[in-house]
Structure 1
Amino acid sequence: MSLKIEKPVVSSEWLFNHLEDKNLIVLDATLPKVTALKKEVIQEKYQIKNAVFFDIKKVFSDVNAPFPNTVLSAKEFEHKAQNLGIYKDSCIVVYDDLGIYSSPRVWWLFQLMGFTNIAVLDGGFPDWVSKEYAIEKPKEKQRDKGDFTANFKPEKLKYTNDVLEAINNKNQLIADARSKGRFYATAPEPREDVKGGHIPNSVSLPFNDILTGGKLKSEKELKLIFKKINSENKELIFSCGTGITASVLALGAEIAGYKNCAVYDGSWTEWGSTNNLPIEK
Protein backbone atom coordinates (compact mmCIF):
# COMPACT_ATOMS: atom_id res chain seq x y z
CA MET A 1 0.00 0.00 0.00
CA SER A 2 1.35 3.43 -0.97
CA LEU A 3 2.44 5.72 1.86
CA LYS A 4 0.14 8.71 2.40
CA ILE A 5 0.84 11.97 4.22
CA GLU A 6 -1.82 12.98 6.73
CA LYS A 7 -0.29 16.24 7.98
CA PRO A 8 1.96 18.86 6.33
CA VAL A 9 4.80 18.15 8.78
CA VAL A 10 6.27 14.85 9.97
CA SER A 11 8.73 14.06 12.76
CA SER A 12 12.18 12.54 12.42
CA GLU A 13 10.82 9.42 14.13
CA TRP A 14 8.07 9.11 11.53
CA LEU A 15 10.55 9.47 8.68
CA PHE A 16 12.95 6.95 10.24
CA ASN A 17 10.14 4.40 10.51
CA HIS A 18 9.16 4.86 6.85
CA LEU A 19 12.58 5.41 5.27
CA GLU A 20 12.45 2.10 3.38
CA ASP A 21 8.89 2.48 2.08
CA LYS A 22 8.87 1.99 -1.69
CA ASN A 23 7.09 5.17 -2.77
CA LEU A 24 8.92 7.49 -0.32
CA ILE A 25 11.30 10.09 -1.71
CA VAL A 26 13.30 12.36 0.60
CA LEU A 27 14.29 15.75 -0.80
CA ASP A 28 17.10 17.93 0.52
CA ALA A 29 16.04 21.51 -0.23
CA THR A 30 18.86 23.28 1.60
CA LEU A 31 19.55 26.91 0.69
CA PRO A 32 21.97 29.29 2.40
CA LYS A 33 20.20 32.22 4.08
CA VAL A 34 20.40 35.38 1.98
CA THR A 35 21.27 37.29 5.14
CA ALA A 36 24.00 34.83 6.22
CA LEU A 37 27.54 36.09 6.60
CA LYS A 38 29.63 35.26 3.56
CA LYS A 39 32.63 34.45 5.76
CA GLU A 40 30.83 31.66 7.60
CA VAL A 41 32.80 28.42 7.58
CA ILE A 42 31.44 25.96 5.02
CA GLN A 43 31.15 22.57 6.69
CA GLU A 44 31.38 19.26 4.87
CA LYS A 45 27.99 18.36 3.46
CA TYR A 46 25.99 15.40 4.72
CA GLN A 47 22.46 14.33 4.00
CA ILE A 48 19.75 11.93 5.16
CA LYS A 49 20.29 8.45 3.74
CA ASN A 50 19.22 8.24 0.07
CA ALA A 51 18.07 11.86 -0.05
CA VAL A 52 17.81 13.60 -3.42
CA PHE A 53 18.90 17.23 -3.78
CA PHE A 54 16.10 19.57 -4.84
CA ASP A 55 17.81 22.63 -6.31
CA ILE A 56 15.42 25.51 -5.68
CA LYS A 57 17.67 28.19 -7.17
CA LYS A 58 19.16 26.69 -10.32
CA VAL A 59 16.65 24.04 -11.37
CA PHE A 60 13.24 24.75 -9.83
CA SER A 61 13.17 28.50 -10.44
CA ASP A 62 13.12 30.46 -13.69
CA VAL A 63 16.79 31.44 -13.93
CA ASN A 64 16.02 33.87 -16.79
CA ALA A 65 13.50 35.85 -14.75
CA PRO A 66 14.49 39.30 -13.43
CA PHE A 67 13.84 38.31 -9.79
CA PRO A 68 15.11 35.37 -7.70
CA ASN A 69 13.08 32.19 -7.14
CA THR A 70 10.47 32.98 -9.80
CA VAL A 71 8.05 30.07 -10.17
CA LEU A 72 8.43 27.77 -13.19
CA SER A 73 5.59 27.04 -15.58
CA ALA A 74 3.62 23.91 -14.70
CA LYS A 75 5.09 22.04 -17.69
CA GLU A 76 8.68 22.91 -16.76
CA PHE A 77 8.10 21.94 -13.14
CA GLU A 78 6.48 18.67 -14.21
CA HIS A 79 9.41 17.79 -16.46
CA LYS A 80 12.05 18.57 -13.84
CA ALA A 81 10.17 16.72 -11.10
CA GLN A 82 9.98 13.67 -13.36
CA ASN A 83 13.75 13.90 -13.86
CA LEU A 84 14.20 13.67 -10.08
CA GLY A 85 12.32 10.38 -10.13
CA ILE A 86 9.06 11.69 -8.71
CA TYR A 87 5.90 9.77 -9.55
CA LYS A 88 2.18 10.46 -9.27
CA ASP A 89 2.06 8.09 -6.28
CA SER A 90 5.28 9.30 -4.62
CA CYS A 91 5.22 10.29 -0.97
CA ILE A 92 7.63 13.20 -0.46
CA VAL A 93 9.33 14.39 2.70
CA VAL A 94 11.40 17.54 2.29
CA TYR A 95 13.95 18.97 4.70
CA ASP A 96 16.76 21.52 4.92
CA ASP A 97 19.94 21.93 6.93
CA LEU A 98 18.69 24.94 8.90
CA GLY A 99 15.74 23.28 10.63
CA ILE A 100 12.85 24.95 8.84
CA TYR A 101 13.88 27.58 6.31
CA SER A 102 13.78 26.60 2.63
CA SER A 103 12.00 23.23 2.86
CA PRO A 104 8.51 24.81 3.13
CA ARG A 105 9.17 26.46 -0.25
CA VAL A 106 9.28 23.00 -1.84
CA TRP A 107 6.17 21.90 0.06
CA TRP A 108 4.38 25.01 -1.24
CA LEU A 109 5.63 24.55 -4.83
CA PHE A 110 4.16 21.06 -4.93
CA GLN A 111 0.88 22.40 -3.44
CA LEU A 112 0.90 25.00 -6.23
CA MET A 113 1.31 22.18 -8.74
CA GLY A 114 -1.66 20.30 -7.27
CA PHE A 115 0.34 17.64 -5.41
CA THR A 116 -0.46 17.19 -1.72
CA ASN A 117 1.26 13.94 -0.68
CA ILE A 118 4.21 15.88 0.72
CA ALA A 119 5.34 16.99 4.18
CA VAL A 120 8.14 19.04 5.71
CA LEU A 121 10.48 17.33 8.18
CA ASP A 122 9.91 19.21 11.43
CA GLY A 123 13.29 20.36 12.75
CA GLY A 124 14.98 19.37 9.50
CA PHE A 125 18.47 17.91 9.33
CA PRO A 126 19.57 19.17 12.78
CA ASP A 127 16.74 17.23 14.44
CA TRP A 128 17.51 14.12 12.36
CA VAL A 129 21.17 14.26 13.39
CA SER A 130 20.24 14.81 17.05
CA LYS A 131 18.40 11.46 16.96
CA GLU A 132 21.57 9.81 15.54
CA TYR A 133 19.73 8.48 12.50
CA ALA A 134 21.64 7.45 9.37
CA ILE A 135 23.41 10.15 7.36
CA GLU A 136 25.76 9.97 4.39
CA LYS A 137 27.80 12.16 2.08
CA PRO A 138 25.84 13.23 -1.02
CA LYS A 139 26.26 10.84 -3.93
CA GLU A 140 25.31 10.95 -7.58
CA LYS A 141 22.65 8.37 -8.29
CA GLN A 142 20.92 7.71 -11.59
CA ARG A 143 17.18 7.78 -11.03
CA ASP A 144 14.43 6.39 -13.22
CA LYS A 145 12.24 9.05 -14.77
CA GLY A 146 8.98 9.50 -12.87
CA ASP A 147 5.48 10.12 -14.19
CA PHE A 148 4.65 13.14 -12.00
CA THR A 149 1.94 15.37 -13.48
CA ALA A 150 1.29 18.96 -12.50
CA ASN A 151 -2.21 20.31 -11.89
CA PHE A 152 -1.50 24.02 -11.49
CA LYS A 153 -3.51 25.89 -8.84
CA PRO A 154 -3.34 29.58 -9.93
CA GLU A 155 -5.17 30.84 -6.85
CA LYS A 156 -2.10 29.98 -4.73
CA LEU A 157 0.15 32.43 -6.61
CA LYS A 158 -0.10 36.24 -6.68
CA TYR A 159 1.64 38.81 -8.86
CA THR A 160 2.36 42.50 -8.32
CA ASN A 161 -0.95 43.70 -9.78
CA ASP A 162 -2.85 41.26 -7.55
CA VAL A 163 -1.04 42.61 -4.48
CA LEU A 164 -1.63 46.21 -5.57
CA GLU A 165 -5.36 45.48 -5.69
CA ALA A 166 -5.22 43.60 -2.37
CA ILE A 167 -3.93 46.69 -0.53
CA ASN A 168 -7.43 48.18 -0.54
CA ASN A 169 -9.40 44.93 -0.52
CA LYS A 170 -11.05 44.39 2.87
CA ASN A 171 -11.30 40.65 2.19
CA GLN A 172 -7.56 40.18 1.72
CA LEU A 173 -4.59 40.54 4.09
CA ILE A 174 -0.91 40.72 3.16
CA ALA A 175 1.49 39.27 5.75
CA ASP A 176 5.24 39.90 5.46
CA ALA A 177 7.67 37.21 6.69
CA ARG A 178 10.78 39.43 6.76
CA SER A 179 12.25 40.70 10.02
CA LYS A 180 10.60 43.70 11.67
CA GLY A 181 13.77 45.69 10.98
CA ARG A 182 13.41 45.16 7.25
CA PHE A 183 9.64 45.68 7.40
CA TYR A 184 10.04 49.09 9.04
CA ALA A 185 13.24 49.96 7.09
CA THR A 186 15.32 50.21 10.26
CA ALA A 187 17.55 47.42 8.97
CA PRO A 188 19.00 47.34 5.43
CA GLU A 189 17.79 45.04 2.69
CA PRO A 190 20.36 42.36 1.76
CA ARG A 191 20.10 43.42 -1.89
CA GLU A 192 21.51 46.88 -2.58
CA ASP A 193 19.05 47.83 -5.33
CA VAL A 194 15.98 47.13 -3.19
CA LYS A 195 14.33 49.93 -1.21
CA GLY A 196 13.41 49.52 2.47
CA GLY A 197 9.92 49.44 3.93
CA HIS A 198 6.78 47.42 3.34
CA ILE A 199 3.63 47.12 1.24
CA PRO A 200 0.90 49.48 2.53
CA ASN A 201 -1.74 47.84 4.76
CA SER A 202 0.43 44.73 5.16
CA VAL A 203 1.20 43.25 8.57
CA SER A 204 4.54 42.07 9.92
CA LEU A 205 4.79 38.38 10.85
CA PRO A 206 8.49 37.40 10.83
CA PHE A 207 8.77 33.72 9.93
CA ASN A 208 10.88 33.07 13.03
CA ASP A 209 7.86 34.05 15.15
CA ILE A 210 6.11 30.80 14.20
CA LEU A 211 9.18 28.65 14.96
CA THR A 212 10.81 27.51 18.15
CA GLY A 213 14.11 25.64 18.29
CA GLY A 214 14.12 25.04 14.54
CA LYS A 215 10.64 23.49 14.60
CA LEU A 216 7.18 24.84 13.96
CA LYS A 217 5.25 25.92 17.02
CA SER A 218 2.31 23.75 18.09
CA GLU A 219 -0.98 23.80 16.20
CA LYS A 220 -2.59 25.58 19.15
CA GLU A 221 0.12 28.27 19.19
CA LEU A 222 -0.08 28.72 15.41
CA LYS A 223 -3.85 29.17 15.55
CA LEU A 224 -3.43 31.93 18.14
CA ILE A 225 -0.70 33.67 16.12
CA PHE A 226 -2.70 33.70 12.89
CA LYS A 227 -5.94 34.65 14.61
CA LYS A 228 -4.16 37.66 16.10
CA ILE A 229 -3.36 39.05 12.63
CA ASN A 230 -6.38 37.63 10.81
CA SER A 231 -9.36 37.58 13.17
CA GLU A 232 -11.77 38.15 10.27
CA ASN A 233 -10.54 35.10 8.33
CA LYS A 234 -9.50 37.06 5.23
CA GLU A 235 -7.68 35.58 2.25
CA LEU A 236 -3.98 35.60 3.17
CA ILE A 237 -1.22 36.70 0.81
CA PHE A 238 2.28 35.97 2.07
CA SER A 239 5.33 37.99 1.05
CA CYS A 240 9.00 38.02 2.11
CA GLY A 241 12.26 38.80 0.33
CA THR A 242 12.07 36.37 -2.58
CA GLY A 243 9.28 33.92 -1.73
CA ILE A 244 11.26 31.49 0.45
CA THR A 245 10.18 32.40 3.98
CA ALA A 246 6.70 33.46 2.79
CA SER A 247 6.30 29.71 2.25
CA VAL A 248 7.11 29.12 5.95
CA LEU A 249 4.09 31.28 6.80
CA ALA A 250 2.01 29.37 4.23
CA LEU A 251 2.94 26.11 5.96
CA GLY A 252 2.08 27.53 9.38
CA ALA A 253 -1.25 28.84 8.10
CA GLU A 254 -2.09 25.42 6.65
CA ILE A 255 -1.51 23.78 10.03
CA ALA A 256 -3.58 26.53 11.68
CA GLY A 257 -6.49 25.61 9.40
CA TYR A 258 -6.38 28.39 6.79
CA LYS A 259 -7.12 27.20 3.25
CA ASN A 260 -7.41 30.49 1.35
CA CYS A 261 -3.71 31.38 1.12
CA ALA A 262 -1.30 32.48 -1.59
CA VAL A 263 2.34 33.54 -1.99
CA TYR A 264 3.43 36.73 -3.78
CA ASP A 265 5.86 35.43 -6.41
CA GLY A 266 8.13 38.47 -6.71
CA SER A 267 7.79 39.39 -3.03
CA TRP A 268 9.66 42.40 -1.65
CA THR A 269 12.58 42.09 -4.07
CA GLU A 270 10.19 42.88 -6.93
CA TRP A 271 8.07 45.38 -5.02
CA GLY A 272 11.02 47.29 -3.54
CA SER A 273 12.89 47.55 -6.84
CA THR A 274 9.93 48.54 -9.03
CA ASN A 275 9.26 52.25 -9.57
CA ASN A 276 5.90 53.87 -8.80
CA LEU A 277 4.69 51.26 -6.30
CA PRO A 278 3.52 52.58 -2.91
CA ILE A 279 5.82 51.90 0.06
CA GLU A 280 5.32 52.51 3.77
CA LYS A 281 8.00 52.55 6.49
Structure 2
Amino acid sequence: MSAPLQSDPKTLVSTEWLAAHLKDPDLRIIDASWYMPDANRDAEAEYEAAHIPGARFFDIDEISDLRSELSHMAPPVEKFMSRMRQMGIGDGHQVVVYDGSGLFSAARVWWLFRLMGKTDIAVLDGGFPKWKAEGRPVSDEPPVIRDRHMTTRRQNTLVKDVTQVARAAKLRDHEIIDARAAARFKGEVPEPREGLRSGHIPGSKNVPFNTTLNADGTMKPTDALAKVFEEAGVDLSKPAITTCGSGVTAAVLSLALTRLGKNDHSLYDGSWSEWGMYADLPIATGES
Protein backbone atom coordinates (compact mmCIF):
# COMPACT_ATOMS: atom_id res chain seq x y z
CA MET A 1 0.00 0.00 0.00
CA SER A 2 1.39 3.40 -0.98
CA ALA A 3 2.00 6.19 1.50
CA PRO A 4 -0.77 8.81 1.87
CA LEU A 5 -0.59 11.75 -0.51
CA GLN A 6 1.46 14.66 0.72
CA SER A 7 -0.88 17.47 -0.30
CA ASP A 8 0.73 20.40 -2.09
CA PRO A 9 -1.52 23.40 -2.81
CA LYS A 10 0.54 24.14 -5.94
CA THR A 11 0.12 20.69 -7.54
CA LEU A 12 -2.14 18.08 -5.94
CA VAL A 13 -4.32 17.94 -2.81
CA SER A 14 -6.27 15.09 -1.24
CA THR A 15 -9.99 14.96 -0.62
CA GLU A 16 -9.16 15.11 3.10
CA TRP A 17 -7.24 18.35 2.56
CA LEU A 18 -10.09 19.92 0.60
CA ALA A 19 -12.70 18.86 3.16
CA ALA A 20 -10.61 20.48 5.91
CA HIS A 21 -10.30 23.74 3.93
CA LEU A 22 -13.75 23.80 2.34
CA LYS A 23 -14.91 26.88 4.28
CA ASP A 24 -11.69 28.87 3.95
CA PRO A 25 -12.72 32.38 2.76
CA ASP A 26 -10.04 32.53 0.07
CA LEU A 27 -10.57 29.04 -1.33
CA ARG A 28 -12.09 28.79 -4.80
CA ILE A 29 -13.11 25.45 -6.31
CA ILE A 30 -13.43 24.76 -10.04
CA ASP A 31 -15.26 21.90 -11.76
CA ALA A 32 -13.30 21.47 -15.00
CA SER A 33 -15.04 18.34 -16.24
CA TRP A 34 -14.69 17.73 -19.98
CA TYR A 35 -15.33 14.56 -21.93
CA MET A 36 -14.52 13.17 -25.35
CA PRO A 37 -17.59 13.28 -27.63
CA ASP A 38 -17.95 9.49 -27.63
CA ALA A 39 -18.44 9.53 -23.84
CA ASN A 40 -21.95 10.96 -24.37
CA ARG A 41 -21.71 13.01 -21.17
CA ASP A 42 -22.79 16.62 -20.65
CA ALA A 43 -20.25 18.12 -18.26
CA GLU A 44 -22.18 21.31 -17.53
CA ALA A 45 -25.48 19.49 -16.93
CA GLU A 46 -23.74 17.12 -14.54
CA TYR A 47 -22.22 20.09 -12.72
CA GLU A 48 -25.63 21.74 -12.37
CA ALA A 49 -27.05 18.51 -10.91
CA ALA A 50 -24.28 17.97 -8.36
CA HIS A 51 -20.91 19.54 -7.56
CA ILE A 52 -18.63 20.18 -4.62
CA PRO A 53 -20.20 23.04 -2.60
CA GLY A 54 -19.07 26.43 -3.89
CA ALA A 55 -17.56 25.06 -7.12
CA ARG A 56 -17.66 27.13 -10.31
CA PHE A 57 -17.92 25.44 -13.72
CA PHE A 58 -14.99 26.02 -16.09
CA ASP A 59 -15.95 25.49 -19.74
CA ILE A 60 -12.72 24.31 -21.36
CA ASP A 61 -14.11 24.69 -24.87
CA GLU A 62 -15.45 28.24 -24.32
CA ILE A 63 -12.57 29.63 -22.24
CA SER A 64 -10.23 29.15 -25.16
CA ASP A 65 -9.00 30.90 -28.28
CA LEU A 66 -12.11 30.69 -30.45
CA ARG A 67 -10.19 32.32 -33.33
CA SER A 68 -8.26 29.06 -33.75
CA GLU A 69 -9.53 26.17 -35.85
CA LEU A 70 -8.10 23.84 -33.21
CA SER A 71 -10.11 22.82 -30.14
CA HIS A 72 -9.69 24.55 -26.76
CA MET A 73 -6.38 26.27 -27.48
CA ALA A 74 -5.17 28.50 -24.64
CA PRO A 75 -7.21 31.73 -24.57
CA PRO A 76 -5.78 35.23 -24.88
CA VAL A 77 -4.76 36.62 -21.49
CA GLU A 78 -7.53 39.24 -21.57
CA LYS A 79 -10.22 36.61 -22.12
CA PHE A 80 -8.88 34.43 -19.33
CA MET A 81 -8.85 37.39 -16.92
CA SER A 82 -12.39 38.37 -17.92
CA ARG A 83 -13.80 34.87 -17.44
CA MET A 84 -12.07 34.43 -14.09
CA ARG A 85 -13.47 37.76 -12.90
CA GLN A 86 -16.95 36.59 -13.90
CA MET A 87 -16.32 33.42 -11.87
CA GLY A 88 -15.13 35.42 -8.84
CA ILE A 89 -11.59 34.05 -8.99
CA GLY A 90 -8.66 36.43 -8.57
CA ASP A 91 -5.52 37.44 -6.73
CA GLY A 92 -5.04 35.93 -3.28
CA HIS A 93 -7.22 32.89 -3.94
CA GLN A 94 -6.14 29.31 -3.46
CA VAL A 95 -7.78 27.37 -6.28
CA VAL A 96 -8.58 23.65 -6.31
CA VAL A 97 -9.71 22.14 -9.61
CA TYR A 98 -11.37 18.77 -10.10
CA ASP A 99 -13.19 16.79 -12.79
CA GLY A 100 -15.79 14.05 -13.07
CA SER A 101 -13.40 11.39 -14.37
CA GLY A 102 -11.00 11.31 -11.41
CA LEU A 103 -7.95 13.00 -12.89
CA PHE A 104 -8.34 13.89 -16.53
CA SER A 105 -9.30 17.39 -17.70
CA ALA A 106 -8.64 19.11 -14.35
CA ALA A 107 -4.91 19.04 -15.07
CA ARG A 108 -5.51 21.09 -18.24
CA VAL A 109 -6.98 23.93 -16.18
CA TRP A 110 -4.15 23.60 -13.64
CA TRP A 111 -1.69 24.04 -16.52
CA LEU A 112 -3.68 26.94 -17.96
CA PHE A 113 -3.54 28.83 -14.66
CA ARG A 114 0.22 28.28 -14.52
CA LEU A 115 0.51 29.51 -18.12
CA MET A 116 -1.16 32.70 -16.92
CA GLY A 117 1.35 33.03 -14.07
CA LYS A 118 -0.94 31.74 -11.31
CA THR A 119 0.64 29.02 -9.17
CA ASP A 120 -1.75 28.84 -6.19
CA ILE A 121 -3.74 26.08 -7.84
CA ALA A 122 -3.92 22.35 -7.17
CA VAL A 123 -5.74 19.41 -8.72
CA LEU A 124 -8.02 17.37 -6.45
CA ASP A 125 -6.52 13.87 -6.34
CA GLY A 126 -9.16 11.38 -7.45
CA GLY A 127 -11.57 14.17 -8.36
CA PHE A 128 -15.34 14.12 -7.96
CA PRO A 129 -15.64 10.30 -8.07
CA LYS A 130 -13.43 9.94 -4.99
CA TRP A 131 -15.15 12.85 -3.22
CA LYS A 132 -18.57 11.25 -3.74
CA ALA A 133 -17.38 7.73 -2.91
CA GLU A 134 -16.26 9.04 0.49
CA GLY A 135 -19.73 10.45 1.18
CA ARG A 136 -18.57 14.06 1.23
CA PRO A 137 -21.04 16.93 0.67
CA VAL A 138 -22.36 17.85 -2.78
CA SER A 139 -24.65 20.66 -3.86
CA ASP A 140 -26.81 21.72 -6.80
CA GLU A 141 -26.78 25.38 -5.78
CA PRO A 142 -24.87 27.95 -7.84
CA PRO A 143 -22.02 29.66 -5.98
CA VAL A 144 -22.20 33.22 -4.70
CA ILE A 145 -19.93 35.25 -6.99
CA ARG A 146 -17.98 38.30 -5.85
CA ASP A 147 -15.68 40.08 -8.27
CA ARG A 148 -11.95 39.78 -7.62
CA HIS A 149 -9.27 41.28 -9.83
CA MET A 150 -6.71 38.89 -11.26
CA THR A 151 -3.16 39.88 -12.18
CA THR A 152 -1.67 37.66 -14.88
CA ARG A 153 1.75 37.27 -16.44
CA ARG A 154 1.83 34.75 -19.27
CA GLN A 155 4.65 32.23 -18.94
CA ASN A 156 5.54 31.55 -22.57
CA THR A 157 8.09 28.88 -21.63
CA LEU A 158 5.22 26.59 -20.59
CA VAL A 159 3.75 26.24 -24.09
CA LYS A 160 5.13 25.20 -27.47
CA ASP A 161 3.78 25.74 -30.98
CA VAL A 162 4.15 23.44 -33.97
CA THR A 163 7.31 25.13 -35.27
CA GLN A 164 9.07 24.78 -31.93
CA VAL A 165 8.01 21.13 -31.62
CA ALA A 166 9.15 20.34 -35.16
CA ARG A 167 12.55 21.85 -34.34
CA ALA A 168 12.78 19.85 -31.11
CA ALA A 169 11.86 16.64 -32.94
CA LYS A 170 14.56 17.27 -35.53
CA LEU A 171 17.31 18.21 -33.08
CA ARG A 172 16.29 15.60 -30.46
CA ASP A 173 17.22 18.10 -27.76
CA HIS A 174 13.94 17.60 -25.86
CA GLU A 175 12.03 14.56 -24.73
CA ILE A 176 8.63 14.71 -26.47
CA ILE A 177 6.22 12.68 -24.34
CA ASP A 178 2.88 11.57 -25.81
CA ALA A 179 -0.01 10.92 -23.40
CA ARG A 180 -2.27 9.08 -25.88
CA ALA A 181 -3.11 5.39 -25.62
CA ALA A 182 -0.47 3.04 -27.05
CA ALA A 183 -2.60 1.94 -30.03
CA ARG A 184 -3.03 5.57 -31.14
CA PHE A 185 0.64 6.34 -30.59
CA LYS A 186 1.68 3.34 -32.70
CA GLY A 187 -0.77 4.27 -35.44
CA GLU A 188 -2.66 0.98 -35.09
CA VAL A 189 -6.11 2.60 -34.85
CA PRO A 190 -7.75 5.57 -36.54
CA GLU A 191 -7.72 8.88 -34.69
CA PRO A 192 -11.05 9.85 -33.09
CA ARG A 193 -10.93 13.20 -34.88
CA GLU A 194 -11.75 12.92 -38.56
CA GLY A 195 -9.11 13.73 -41.14
CA LEU A 196 -6.04 13.11 -38.97
CA ARG A 197 -3.23 10.75 -39.88
CA SER A 198 -2.35 7.99 -37.42
CA GLY A 199 1.01 7.72 -35.66
CA HIS A 200 3.22 9.98 -33.57
CA ILE A 201 5.86 12.68 -33.70
CA PRO A 202 9.18 11.05 -34.67
CA GLY A 203 11.41 10.46 -31.66
CA SER A 204 8.62 10.92 -29.12
CA LYS A 205 8.06 8.55 -26.20
CA ASN A 206 4.72 7.11 -25.16
CA VAL A 207 3.49 7.52 -21.59
CA PRO A 208 -0.31 6.99 -21.72
CA PHE A 209 -1.70 9.41 -19.15
CA ASN A 210 -3.55 6.67 -17.26
CA THR A 211 -0.26 4.89 -16.52
CA THR A 212 0.49 7.75 -14.10
CA LEU A 213 -2.70 6.99 -12.17
CA ASN A 214 -3.87 4.38 -9.70
CA ALA A 215 -7.03 2.35 -10.32
CA ASP A 216 -9.09 4.83 -8.28
CA GLY A 217 -8.07 7.82 -10.44
CA THR A 218 -5.54 9.19 -7.97
CA MET A 219 -2.01 9.98 -9.09
CA LYS A 220 0.72 7.49 -8.31
CA PRO A 221 3.30 8.45 -5.65
CA THR A 222 6.49 10.04 -6.91
CA ASP A 223 8.65 6.92 -6.78
CA ALA A 224 6.13 5.04 -8.94
CA LEU A 225 5.79 8.03 -11.29
CA ALA A 226 9.54 8.14 -11.83
CA LYS A 227 9.43 4.44 -12.73
CA VAL A 228 6.64 5.01 -15.28
CA PHE A 229 8.72 7.57 -17.17
CA GLU A 230 11.89 5.50 -16.84
CA GLU A 231 10.21 2.38 -18.24
CA ALA A 232 8.98 4.42 -21.22
CA GLY A 233 12.58 5.37 -21.99
CA VAL A 234 12.17 9.03 -21.03
CA ASP A 235 15.41 10.81 -20.17
CA LEU A 236 14.32 13.15 -17.39
CA SER A 237 17.60 15.08 -17.59
CA LYS A 238 16.41 16.61 -20.88
CA PRO A 239 13.78 19.37 -21.09
CA ALA A 240 10.41 17.85 -21.93
CA ILE A 241 7.44 18.64 -24.16
CA THR A 242 4.14 16.93 -23.37
CA THR A 243 1.60 16.22 -26.09
CA CYS A 244 -1.59 14.21 -26.63
CA GLY A 245 -4.66 14.44 -28.89
CA SER A 246 -5.73 18.03 -28.22
CA GLY A 247 -3.71 19.28 -25.26
CA VAL A 248 -5.89 17.97 -22.42
CA THR A 249 -4.27 14.76 -21.12
CA ALA A 250 -0.80 16.12 -21.96
CA ALA A 251 -1.36 18.28 -18.88
CA VAL A 252 -1.69 15.14 -16.73
CA LEU A 253 1.91 14.34 -17.72
CA SER A 254 2.87 17.97 -17.02
CA LEU A 255 1.39 17.62 -13.53
CA ALA A 256 3.23 14.33 -12.98
CA LEU A 257 6.54 15.86 -14.07
CA THR A 258 6.01 18.80 -11.71
CA ARG A 259 5.26 16.36 -8.88
CA LEU A 260 8.66 14.81 -9.62
CA GLY A 261 10.30 18.21 -9.13
CA LYS A 262 10.98 18.62 -12.85
CA ASN A 263 10.15 22.13 -14.01
CA ASP A 264 11.79 22.37 -17.45
CA HIS A 265 8.79 21.15 -19.39
CA SER A 266 6.20 22.70 -21.68
CA LEU A 267 2.98 21.56 -23.38
CA TYR A 268 2.38 21.36 -27.12
CA ASP A 269 -1.00 23.05 -27.24
CA GLY A 270 -1.97 21.98 -30.79
CA SER A 271 -0.90 18.38 -30.08
CA TRP A 272 -1.88 15.64 -32.55
CA SER A 273 -4.98 17.57 -33.69
CA GLU A 274 -2.51 19.93 -35.34
CA TRP A 275 0.47 17.70 -36.14
CA GLY A 276 -1.68 14.93 -37.63
CA MET A 277 -3.47 17.39 -39.89
CA TYR A 278 -0.47 18.60 -41.91
CA ALA A 279 0.81 16.24 -44.61
CA ASP A 280 4.22 17.95 -44.70
CA LEU A 281 5.00 17.09 -41.06
CA PRO A 282 6.75 13.73 -40.56
CA ILE A 283 5.08 10.93 -38.64
CA ALA A 284 6.29 7.65 -37.21
CA THR A 285 4.39 4.45 -36.45
CA GLY A 286 5.10 1.42 -34.31
CA GLU A 287 7.08 1.69 -31.09
CA SER A 288 9.17 4.69 -32.12
Contact 1:47 1:136 (8 Å CA) reproduced: yes
Aligned mates of 2:173, 2:135 — CA distance in 1: 47
Structure 2 stretches of 5 or more lacking a match? 1-6
Paired position in structure 2 for 1:177: 179
Contact 1:62 1:70 (8 Å CA) reproduced: yes
Contact 2:10 2:119 (8 Å CA) reproduced: no
Contact 2:54 2:144 (8 Å CA) reproduced: no
SS at match of 1:279: coil
The TM-score with structure 2 as length reference comes to 0.90
Aligned mates of 1:72, 1:170 — CA distance in 2: 29
**2:242 is the counterpart of 1:238:** yes
Q: 1:35 to 1:197 in 2, by over 3 A?
A: farther
Q: 1:160 to 1:83 in 2, by over 3 A?
A: same
Structure 1 stretches of 5 or more lacking a match? none
Contact 1:242 1:266 (8 Å CA) reproduced: yes
Once the 2 structures are TM-superposed, how far is the Cα of residue 197 of structure 1 from its aligned partner? 0.5
Aligned mates of 1:170, 1:194 — CA distance in 2: 24
Aligned mates of 2:184, 2:258 — CA distance in 1: 25
The TM-score with structure 1 as length reference comes to 0.92
**Which of 24, 27, 30 is the equivalent residue of 1:21?**
24
Query: Alpha-carbon deviations, 1:106-153, whole Å to 9, x = none?
Result: 10001111111010000000110111110012x344512211111100
Contact 2:158 2:267 (8 Å CA) reproduced: yes
Paired position in structure 2 for 1:48: 52
Query: Alpha-carbon deviations, 1:192-242, whole Å to 9, x = none?
Result: 111101011111110011011211011111122234433351110001000
Paired position in structure 1 for 2:94: 91
SS at match of 1:97: coil
Give the total of aligned pairs. Answer: 274
> In structure 2, what residue type is equivalent to 1:129?
K
> In structure 2, what residue type is equivalent to 1:270?
E
RMSD of aligned C-alpha atoms? 1.9
Residue identity over aligned pairs, in percent, reads: 37
**Which of 33, 37, 44 is the equivalent residue of 2:36?**
33
Aligned mates of 1:7, 1:48 — CA distance in 2: 20
Once the two structures are superposed, the pairs formed by residues 1-281 of structure 1 within 5 Å of their partners are 6-36=9-39, 45-58=49-62, 60-137=63-140, 139-141=141-143, 143-212=145-214, 213-228=216-231, 229-231=233-235, 233-281=237-285
